[in-house]
């Protein structure tokens, strides 16, 4: 990624923030306009968008059994979609500089279209979101990818979105999309995957859920052939024949875990209380739910109020690599989370939610091992800016010394790069956080 491209992106984001006249101010939950506060839930007056509910979890997984917390309930399946066109040097993407209340820096680069049904049917009473027609009725042969993927299972309850890339012929590609959208070279855009707080979580998810060959213009990581560095190790790992079925391993782990979520009234949620205008744990914990007043004049509605999840600290998402028999492999984990609609999905080697701490046992051991490992890629990324208030994770790709012994419980598995791609490009297997972590590797493809 050239310095000139990065500077142009920074200037565009700054211009968009000026156009939006962005303001996000805290306010008491009970004062939110068009939101109804009740014992059972916090809900929008239209019945759309999302709700804040309380849940107690019973599970055969002792790590989550008995947990009780608020969740975001949003059963609508949104569309996160990039429009693509063929450029002289490969695919170009229509990228949106999108203002969201919870983004670090307010404006981050997002897919061309990023909307829930409540938004694209204009239940908010504002202007309709552009480009919906291309995802509702794609041109023949234009769908490059269309996968239903999960959201964060520690914050959302059973939430999914369609992750899409639709390639348009030149005759249909928007020529003057407006100041908030630009056509960008996909190869240059991938370089931003390792930049702090530039590409939003939805963009990262869509990119890594699309066959990597589409972005690489051929065999992923082939540009590192004949070199000796980390890129060459990625290429060698990608070229390995698939030895076993990692998806089948996940399904076996999933079948062994039971999760039952029982709705509670917010007023009956143990360990939580409504006080000082927020729904917060009695003993300070990982997150609270607070109210915010937002101004963003570049959005479909220029002013609104809403609850946001506000976490107490930064999370940790680490993919640990190690060479086995000269082949680089990535350590993944089958992880149960109360809010995952699939109960268990594949997570990064270490996946600690913002405001939480690593689990005792093997995750703590991995965290300690990763602290002394060679760091290949690292960045800080904020998460779902429409529902979380500046929640962030520290993402890292690290490599352990090949001679370092590491136990591997049954919930963990080593995979090659080809296997990792297959998992990411299959719907419903990999957590949102692990997809973002894998996207760092895609920056080198």
Residue 160 burial class via C-beta count within 10 angstroms: exposed 0-12, middle 13-18, buried 19 and up:
buried
Return the SS3 of 432: helix
Please give the sequence-ordered ranges of beta strands (E in DSSP) within 61-220, or none if there are none: 68-73, 78-87, 90-99, 107-110, 113-115, 143-150, 160-167, 181-185
Question: Contact at 8 Å (CB) between 332 and 348?
Answer: yes
Could you tell me how many residues make up the chain?
A: 445
Structure confidence by residue, pLDDT tens digits, 393-412: 999 999 999 999 998 899 99
Quote the DSSP letter at residue 172: T
| Cα separation values, 111 from 84, 85, 342, Å | 10, 14, 25
pTM of the model: 0.97
User: Rounded CA gap, 430 and 150, in Å?
Assistant: 8
Chain centroid to Cα 50, Å, comes to 18
Mean pLDDT score, 282-293: 95
Dihedral-angle region of residue 188 (phi above 0 means left; psi in -120 to 50 means alpha; beta otherwise): alpha
pLDDT at 124 > cutoff 70: no
User: Rounded CA gap, 269 and 264, in Å?
Assistant: 6
Rounded to a whole number of angstroms, the distance between the first and last alpha carbons of the chain is 13
Structure confidence by residue, pLDDT tens digits, 51-78: 999 999 999 999 999 999 999 999 999 9
Residue tagged 């369609």 (tokens):
162
Q: What's the confidence (pLDDT) of residue 1?
A: 67
Q: What's the confidence (pLDDT) of residue 127?
A: 82
Angle at which helices 417-424 and 246-255 pack, to 10 degrees?
Answer: 60
Structure confidence by residue, pLDDT tens digits, 317-374: 999 999 999 999 999 999 999 999 999 999 999 999 999 999 888 999 999 999 999 9
């Amino acid at each position: 990624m050239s310095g000139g491209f990065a500077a142009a992106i920074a200037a565009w984001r700054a211009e968009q923030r000026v156009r939006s006249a962005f303001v996000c101010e805290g306010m008491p939950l009970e004062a939110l306009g068009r939101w109804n506060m009740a014992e059972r839930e916090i809900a929008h007056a239209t019945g759309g968008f999302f709700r804040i509910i309380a849940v107690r979890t019973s599970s055969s997984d002792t790590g989550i059994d008995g947990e009780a917390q608020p969740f975001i309930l949003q059963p609508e399946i949104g569309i996160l979609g990039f429009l693509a066109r063929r450029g002289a040097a490969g695919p170009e993407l229509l990228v949106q500089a999108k203002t969201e209340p919870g983004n670090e820096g307010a404006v981050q680069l997002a897919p061309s279209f990023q909307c829930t049904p409540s938004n694209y049917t204009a239940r908010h009473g504002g202007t309709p979101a552009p480009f919906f027609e291309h995802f509702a009725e794609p041109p023949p042969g234009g769908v490059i990818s269309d996968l239903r993927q999960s959201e964060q299972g520690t914050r959302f309850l059973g939430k999914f979105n369609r992750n899409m890339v639709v390639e348009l012929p030149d005759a249909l590609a928007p020529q003057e999309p407006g100041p908030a959208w630009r056509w960008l070279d996909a190869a240059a855009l991938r370089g931003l995957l390792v930049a702090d707080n530039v590409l939003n979580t939805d963009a990262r998810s869509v990119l890594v859920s699309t066959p990597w060959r589409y972005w690489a213009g051929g065999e992923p990581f082939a540009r590192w052939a004949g070199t000796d560095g980390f890129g060459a190790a990625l290429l060698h790992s990608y070229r390995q024949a698939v030895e076993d079925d990692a998806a089948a391993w996940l399904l076996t782990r999933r079948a062994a875990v039971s999760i039952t979520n029982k709705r509670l009234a917010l007023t009956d949620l143990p360990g939580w209380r409504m006080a000082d205008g927020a729904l917060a744990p009695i003993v300070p914990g990982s997150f609270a739910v607070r109210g915010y007043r937002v101004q963003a004049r570049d959005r479909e509605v220029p002013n609104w109020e809403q609850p946001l999840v506000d976490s107490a600290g930064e999370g940790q998402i680490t993919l640990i690599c190690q060479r086995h028999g000269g082949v680089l492999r990535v350590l993944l984990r089958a992880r149960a989370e109360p809010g995952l609609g699939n109960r268990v999905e594949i997570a990064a080697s270490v996946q600690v939610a913002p405001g939480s701490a690593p689990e005792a046992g093997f995750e703590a051991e991995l965290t300690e091992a990763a602290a002394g490992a060679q760091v290949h890629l690292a960045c800080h990324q904020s998460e779902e800016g429409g529902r979380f208030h500046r929640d962030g994770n520290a993402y890292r790709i690290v490599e352990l010394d090949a001679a370092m012994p590491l136990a591997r419980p049954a919930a963990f598995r080593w995979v090659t790069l080809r296997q990792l791609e297959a998992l990411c490009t299959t719907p419903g297997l990999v957590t949102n956080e692990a997809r973002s972590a894998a996207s760092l590797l895609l920056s080198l493809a």
